[in-house]
Structure 1
Amino acid sequence: MEYRRLGRSGLKVSEIAYGNWLTHGSQVEAAAARACVAAALDEGITTFDTADVYALTRAEQVLGEALRGVRRESVEICTKVFWPTGPGANDRGLSRKHIIESAHASLRRLGTDYIDLYQAHRYDHDTPLVETLRAFDDLVRQGKVLYIGVSEWRPEQIAEALQIADRLGLDRIVSNQPQYNMIWRVIEPEVVPLCLREGIGQMVWSPLAQGALTGKYLPAAPPPRGSRATDGQGSGFITNFLADDVLRRVQSLGPLAEEAGLTSAQLAVAWTLQNPAVAAAVVGASRPEQIRENARAAGVRLDPSLLQRIDDVLGDQVVADPAYIPASSTNSTAAARARLAGRDQDGDTVAGGSRQDA
């Protein structure tokens, strides 16, 4: 395993991070979750990513239990706040009330005194940004949070947050967590250049395009039993990556992976790590061997000619239009559903959008 600084902060994270979206407390039993976390630690993975909303708060508890007994200073625990965690009007968003209450609840579930990286899971148009940033800053000053980040924020939202923080002397954002993989590259035109200038690192999720880039899904064939595509909860996130044209091109990536001495999954994860803005690729797993396979992508350097051949194979299936980054809390769900269904908000057709499937 290799480790990278998270942006220009002093925090180092493992190139491969372990995430438990759609797994812990939901698809994976507690014993299997503990086995996956143990395998991650054995591989040198020190960065663990979760969120209060995953499995309706259960995922944080499962991760905390799996890490019990591990030297706290040897791992980086990352979690998030924004999505509803209860029925009340204030059980959601990025108000001071919800941030502070959610942080305390996450600390209890994770069984820790502090969170290494606390992330705004989406942007909240309903709360003044200065209120959100002051609440995060207070948690940092109290020692309950060490660093703050965001997830799926647009470049203008990140830029405004940095301007406010600099003007008021508040703690700065050090990370962004976007979806990013060979097919879904919407952060490249605008988010990545801004973050490189401002010292913000990317901890990317779905480096395997929900599993479509593993090569196990075949065009014009039913998905394998037990895969993300057959799961009632996870299938909606992978559907549009399973278009036959996408899958045919993914099959053509298999020989390129073999040339590099990698599996298709390892090639996909390693591809994300070639971007200098990326600090870590967040992968999930339902079995320890999946973690071990993905961990082999750490430290891999891909030849520029191979990167070009990957682009040539994927061709027009690559989505790089930054318009598909959710604009706000009010339309992000609708936009994401439309995107994953293969249509933009105007109804025009587009491409693109754990377990090993993450």
Structure 2
Amino acid sequence: MEYRNLGKAGVKVSELSLGAWVTYGFQFGLQEAKEIMAAAFDAGVNFFDNAEAYAAGEAEIIMGQAFKELGWARKDYLVSTKIFWGGNGPNDRGLSYKHIIEGTNNALKRLNLEYVDLIFAHRPDPETPIEETVFAFNQVIREGKAFYWGTSEWSAADIMRATDFARRNSLRPPSMEQPEYNLLHRYRFEVEYAPLYKELGYGTTTWSPLYSGLLTGKYNEGKIPKGSRGDLKAYAFLREKFEDEKKLAVARKLTEVSDDLGVSLAQMSLAWLLKNPNVSTVITGATRVSQVEENMKAVEIKDRLTDDVMARIDEIIKDVEF
């Protein structure tokens, strides 16, 4: 496992990490979480991603209890939370000073931690001035409740605005972004954010590396397998991804490349992300230990994605609307 700097920050994150979205508190509970987290940790993963919105806070409770029972030294792992969707009340969501402070405190209680290493503004909030949001996250860091703050799915323009305001007022600017990035969703990461890497040294913790499972190949036949993410009623909104014939055709062609390499489409898709120097860490998900073990093999095969292989992949994905 390689450990990469989170952009220009000094902290190092494992190139593959583990996230709690969809799974913790929804598909499984504490015992399964402990087994999966232990398998990832044993493989070298040191970053575990979460959010106040995941399973309405239950994901943080499960992860926090897992940390306690696994007994790892706090210095040996990094954990994140994301603030935006904290409840149904009028002040339980968004990026107001009030919700950021209260949301952070509540997340720490659920995680049973004194601090998180990374904290994100989970989405942009057009109803709150960016200046207020910057002040709030600066306060969170001043109080030692987080070490670094960043954004998730913000526009590059808003990130620049937040950074400029923070610098002009001697406040801590955002230093990392958590965007969706995969073979089928590339524009924002590769084009819009390009100045952020060059001018700000922005780090990235990318999510949905397998396009919600489409890049595992399990949907190649055009059917929704029982028990898959596409089969979950709560995530029915994802079905249109799995029924997009153009993207399915691309996945089938990519499978030909992974077959030639003797690896799974999922492993090749993860390895492709790791080839990008602007990727600090790729957040993976798993519902069982065997998935963790399979995903972790991506670090071993990334060097097999030679220039010729990368060119072949680029040719397949060039016409995908990214």
Range of TM-score over shorter length: over 0.9
Please state if 1:5 is matched with 2:5.
yes
The 1-side partners of 2:18 and 2:282 are apart by 8
Unaligned runs of 5+ in 1: 321-358
Conservation of the 8 A alpha-carbon contact between 1:212 and 1:238:
no
* Larger deviation, residues 307-316 vs 166-175: 307-316
Deviation of 1:175 (Å): 0.7
Please state if 1:297 is matched with 2:298.
yes
What's 1:225 paired with? 226
For residue 313 of structure 1, what is the amino acid of its counterpart? I
What's 2:31 paired with? 31
Conservation of the 8 A alpha-carbon contact between 2:30 and 2:63:
no
Q: 3-state SS of the aligned residue for 1:292?
A: helix
Q: What do residues 121-155 of structure 1 show as CA deviations (whole Å, max 9, x unaligned)?
A: 01111111111111111111111110001100101
Conservation of the 8 A alpha-carbon contact between 1:210 and 1:238:
no
The 1-side partners of 2:236 and 2:278 are apart by 29
What's 2:321 paired with? 319
Conservation of the 8 A alpha-carbon contact between 1:219 and 1:244:
no
What's 1:186 paired with? 187
Conservation of the 8 A alpha-carbon contact between 2:24 and 2:62:
yes
Choose from 203, 218, 223 the match for 1:201. Answer: 203
Deviation of 1:190 (Å): 1.6
Aligned length: 317
Q: 3-state SS of the aligned residue for 2:257?
A: helix
The 1-side partners of 2:194 and 2:225 are apart by 35
For residue 285 of structure 2, what is the amino acid of its counterpart? G
Please state if 1:109 is matched with 2:102.
no
Conservation of the 8 A alpha-carbon contact between 2:209 and 2:284:
yes
The 2-side partners of 1:288 and 1:235 are apart by 25
The 2-side partners of 1:80 and 1:158 are apart by 16
What's 2:101 paired with? 100
The 2-side partners of 1:196 and 1:260 are apart by 33
Please state if 1:61 is matched with 2:64.
no
Unaligned runs of 5+ in 2: none
For residue 294 of structure 1, what is the amino acid of its counterpart? N
Q: For 1:70-149, what aligned pairs fall within 5 Å after superposition?
A: 70-83=72-85, 85-149=86-150
Please state if 1:210 is matched with 2:212.
yes
The 2-side partners of 1:314 and 1:306 are apart by 13
Q: For 1:260-339, what aligned pairs fall within 5 Å after superposition?
A: 260-298=261-299, 300-301=302-303, 302-316=305-319, 318-320=320-322
The 1-side partners of 2:239 and 2:161 are apart by 32
Deviation of 1:98 (Å): 0.3
The 1-side partners of 2:245 and 2:238 are apart by 16
The 2-side partners of 1:192 and 1:265 are apart by 26
The 2-side partners of 1:241 and 1:11 are apart by 37
What's 1:329 paired with? none
What's 1:20 paired with? 20
The 2-side partners of 1:231 and 1:314 are apart by 28
The 1-side partners of 2:273 and 2:178 are apart by 13
Q: 3-state SS of the aligned residue for 2:175?
A: strand
Q: For 1:220-259, what aligned pairs fall within 5 Å after superposition?
A: 220=222, 222-259=223-260
Q: 3-state SS of the aligned residue for 2:120?
A: strand
TM-score (norm 1): 0.85
Q: 3-state SS of the aligned residue for 1:34?
A: helix
**Which one has the bigger helix percentage?**
2
Q: What do residues 273-322 of structure 1 show as CA deviations (whole Å, max 9, x unaligned)?
A: 22211101111110011111111112623212212211222342x233xx
Conservation of the 8 A alpha-carbon contact between 1:4 and 1:12:
yes
What's 2:162 paired with? 161
Identity %: 41
Structure of greater relative contact order (alpha carbons < 8 Å, 6+ residues apart): 1
The 2-side partners of 1:270 and 1:284 are apart by 15
Q: 3-state SS of the aligned residue for 1:298?
A: helix
The 2-side partners of 1:122 and 1:201 are apart by 17
Deviation of 1:197 (Å): 2.2
Deviation of 1:241 (Å): 4.1
Deviation of 1:229 (Å): 1.0
Deviation of 1:218 (Å): 2.2
For residue 26 of structure 1, what is the amino acid of its counterpart? F
Deviation of 1:262 (Å): 2.4
Deviation of 1:238 (Å): 4.7
